[in-house]
Amino acid sequence: MCSHSQNQKHYPELNHGSGAKWIKSLTQNRLSTFLGGHFQDVNLSSVLYTHRIDGSHHVDLQVWSAPGLTKPSFHEAMKQEFKPAKKGDSFGPSWTNHWWKVTLKIPSYWQQYERVQFEFDPGCEAMIFSTDGVPLQGITGGYGGDRRVEYIIPSQAVRDGQYAVVIESSCNGMFGVPWNGDIIAPPDMNRYFELASADLVVPNQDAWHLMWDFTTLREIVDTVPGNTALQNKALVTANKIMNAFTSGDPENVKRLRGIAEDVFGKDWYAKGDKIYNEGPKKVQVVGISYCHIDTAWLWPYSVTQQKTARSWSTQIDLMERYPEHRFACSQAQQFKWLEEQYPTLFERIKKKVASGQFHLIGGSWVENDGNMPSGEALVRQFLYGQRYFESRFGKRCETAWLPDSFGLTAAYPQLIRDAGMKYFFTQKLSWYERNVFPHSTFNWVGIDGSQVLCHMTPVDTYTAQATVGDVNKGITNHKNLESDATALLVFGNGDGGGGALPKMLENLRRIRATTNEHRELPSVSMGSSVEEFFADIEEASKEGKMLPVWKGELYLEFHRGTYTSHGSIKKGNRKCEILLRDVERVATLTSLLKPKGHSYVYPKRAIDECWEKVLLNQFLPGSAIGMVYDDADKLYAEVREVCTGLLEDAFSVLLPRSSPLLSNSTSETLVAFNATSFARHDVIKVPLSRNATRMKAQVIQTSADGKHGYALMHSVGNKVASQPVGMFSVCMPASVFTNGTDHFVLRNANVQLTISEGRISSLIDVRLGRELIPKGSSGGLVIFEDRPNYWDAWDVEIHHLETSTPLSFSQVRVIAEGPLRAAVQTQVKFGNSTIDVTISLDAITATMKGNSRSFFNFDAVVDWHERHKFLKFELPLNINNTYATYESQFGFVQRPTHKNTTLDAAKFEVCGHKFADLSEYGYGVAFLSESKYGFACEGNVLRISLLRAATAPDAEQDQGRHEFSWAVMPHVGSFLESDVPMAAFIYNSPLHGQLGFSDNAGHIVPPLPFWLEGAPNIFLETIKRGEDDFQPNASGTTVILRMYEAFGGHGSVKLHVGEHVPVKRAYVTNILEDIKGELGLVSTTGAHSTLKLEFRGFEVKTVKLVLETEESDLDISDISSTVSSKRDSWVTVDEEL
């Protein structure tokens, strides 16, 4: 016999078996039966718990229900009288809060078990407190994927045999209380929740870990491409576990866990978090836990405060058991709420921030809307956010973070960099309708050329569940692996809060163990920060040189209806932004120029509180439930009230000889305050009494009933006083003509508008003899059917443009005949709604620019009672261009008027701020807006969006009364040659106050001590006191001036500072007011100081002036005569008819 035959293993000669061939798909389908479902009483689910007990002997429940929608604190609740409760009781209605005292008696023999838990499922959200009021952990009731109802009882309490906690349950789910289960449905205000569980349980820890093992194996099978070694091995292993499972044998589960090591590796579980130290050094996917909490959405602000505490305490709890767990958290507002309402939890968070487990990101006050806040408001989002983080935690954020904003302005890169950050994370653009965004990691370049390193996670969500599919998608869905092959896995339940769950952290450990043994999946790491993730990309890409570039806005092809939804919020935002700008300007002037010894102090705290309210509301794009907008309206009302008072306080110091202008004034001179830096003329409406002889002499035109007059106000240079003047030579008397029925013409010497048969049939530049509306076309109000495919308040679909119905002005009548103002009043009735529109033309031009034209103003009062209708105003124009221009923050953006590509077609509804413009060489027409943000230009038809009427998630969205204005402004020259940005700035900045002096003493109003000379494309936006002036150890006085280039080109200006504001030093700072460099200061003896400033296109520049004297040493009496007698109030100018 040959020796080699003797050494071979025996291979049977005969085979009577059927073979081991499987039908793979059937085996794979089988895996779904191992957990829950029809076989839950005999599969793995049947052994997840060793013991479960309830009843008053072991779980004593006492409850107190807070009255109404009140939200008492822990200590307030503990003073109340509690009554017995039991499992199965129901509590409600929606949004109410219920407090529980829970006393647990734990069987002594349970000390043998690894873990004992209290399971509390109220069907809604809840928070567990210690008996002395420390928040311990959040509860999410119900049976969704965000369920977390278990609380681990401390080992010492198990040994003691008793334990007590306090629980606050709130009658809302993670996503509010939608009426019919549809997430966007209006809330059911009468929902009750049943206490489904209040049990002491002993979980079978081996069974739970086997469940997590099996889950990961099954996810591998479902994710990894078919017929790979890893997929087949995972399927074989999972199948073995199912075959070997025996429900009645406790030791059986432990043995089954050993089978899973065939995929995860030998003894992988014993390594715990050290599993991340093995395997590849260069990982492809970096995990970071995150908990997105909408500051308000399907729940009001008060519920968000509770959600924050629940979610963040839960994450701290997880950090104790999972050392690799790192939690990233944004929104300074939520931290402040926590600091005020849950101080003990806030102190725990501070410790976790210091230990490096709780990461601060974002740098902003809230995760605000990225389209509608003004440029200055975006600055304040970062200023207030970063300074809060620094003041509480000793550090600022390094990464800007806006994962859920509905598009992002191209002003952001510059502002992010100027806020001390260079990294940016977002992902909402993955919600594309048609065009896939082409990059995952790229340099995002803004309108001024600034760039940030941007990552848009290829996982396509900020609420990943940390599944194998999520990790794999981080690479398979990556758009530019050739330049960067890493992805950020942002995981944890969100929108309504919650954050990471234990199952997610367990799954990630198993995925890492798998990739330590196999290469078919991307490797995932835990324990690092978002900044480390970006820093690695920055280094690997050679400081971004190897990355693609995206220039301009990040336009979301979705949720375009939010530019218009909830018009009152849009108006509140715009008006309060401008009011705060004016308050800061006036208060700064007052603090610098007050009389010696006067007690006036710059109202920093009040201004900060107002800004925080405005910034908070900027989370709201227009798609929340009605309760949210009730709260927001109250905040705006508070801001208006406070700011009005602040203006009155300041004017009583600046202009002490003034008195309120009343209808019975007899011998006074009219003076108003110009809070802009532009010379301007305005037509204002003033009340007249029968005896107001002097006041009547100052008005040029009187209403038919004699109760009101129209005065022409004029301010020049840096003079803040605007005083009445006569009809000077550049005025063009306005008039209105009618044939008495259906033909009306508003006209002055440079423009003319005709309303014929209820439509605007003609718009003429009189000086050029140019007709601006094509022959046979007409403009005016138009209404569209508005039925989005799903997201009602969020979306407007392109097909709405196919359903237009032109509306005709009716009951047109002349109400002002000139010469200062000509006007007609019209009415439109549609459905259940009435739209009253006053169209007026003044005898002045839009700005003081030489070839400026007048604009036609439209003041609307609407009683709106439609459903699923979209009201717009449109004009077809005899102008041809492939793009239209829209104001954005600190500049503008140009968007296509055509549909050449799907990218172009997608921009059928866009966001703009104070103007939209369609121009060609030589001429253009702009719409000016004082509170609207939705615009469109389809071919040559320019539109402004006025009102929507969605019914979800707010069933009464926009119902009722609205007042708003817009204007049609023809202009000579293309947009870049026009005065449109200046006109829009002035249009949004009405004069403040109508003052009466005892004599013609308007000259006592001090001039604005800061003004620009040179390039007209540089705008002075903000004048305020320096933030550091109000720090505890502050010394000296500083003034902050913020300017920007508005037209997209270079500019050189001289910044002049008046002689009565002596400047010691001047610096360029970032928007956080950190010094970047010193400026050369040129002073003229006995005169003003001058700084020369250079701007690139769209550059935002912040200048800090350090004054030589304390504010109390500056004296208004050096400028004007000493005056006293405080004025009672300050009346805001009403520019409406």
List the catalytic residues. 404
> How many other β-carbons are positioned within 10 Å of the β-carbon of residue 918?
24
Rounded Cα distance, 170 and 123, in Å? 10
Residue in 585, 582, 595 with CA at minimum distance from that of residue 657: 595
Residue in 910, 1125, 793 with CA at minimum distance from that of residue 410: 910
Rounded Cα distance, 372 and 485, in Å? 34
Concatenate the DSSP letters of all residues of 610-662 into one string.
HHHHHHHHTT--S-S-HHHHHHHHHHHHHHHHHHHHHHHHHHHHH-TT-EE--
Contact 133, 102 (CB under 8 A): no
Residue found by looking up tokens 């890893």 in the block: 230
Burial category of 732 from C-beta neighbours within 10 Å (exposed 0-12, middle 13-18, buried 19 and up): buried
DSSP-based three-state secondary structure for 44: helix
Contact 315, 291 (CB under 8 A): yes
Output the CA–CA distances (angstroms, integers) from residue 780 to 535, 667, 680, 757, 875, in the order listed.
54, 44, 29, 11, 6
Residue found by looking up tokens 């009364």 in the block: 961
DSSP-based three-state secondary structure for 184: coil
Tokens of 702: 């009187």
Residue 67's contacts (CB-CB under 8 Å, 6 or more residues apart) are none
Rounded Cα distance, 400 and 452, in Å? 9
Rounded Cα distance, 654 and 656, in Å? 6
Contact 310, 349 (CB under 8 A): no
Residue 11's contacts (CB-CB under 8 Å, 6 or more residues apart) are none
Type and span of the H or E element at 729: none
What is the widest separation between alpha-carbon atoms in the chain?
138
Contact 720, 682 (CB under 8 A): no
Output the CA–CA distances (angstroms, integers) from residue 436 to 393, 429, 432, 552, 906, in the order listed.
39, 8, 6, 16, 12
Rounded Cα distance, 584 and 591, in Å? 10
Tokens of 783: 């209404």
Output the CA–CA distances (angstroms, integers) from residue 293 to 310, 318, 331, 341, in the order listed.
11, 18, 9, 17
Strands in 726-832 per DSSP E: 735-738, 743-747, 751-756, 759-765, 770-771, 780-785, 805-806, 810-817, 821-830
Contact 930, 964 (CB under 8 A): yes
Within 13 Å, how many C-alpha atoms sit on residue 599's CB side?
1
Within 13 Å, how many C-alpha atoms sit on residue 1030's CB side?
14
Bridge-based pairing state of the strands 735-738 and 743-747: antiparallel
Rounded Cα distance, 370 and 584, in Å? 24
Tokens of 292: 């997105």
Residue found by looking up tokens 């806040």 in the block: 373
User: What single-letter amino acid sits at 544?
Assistant: G
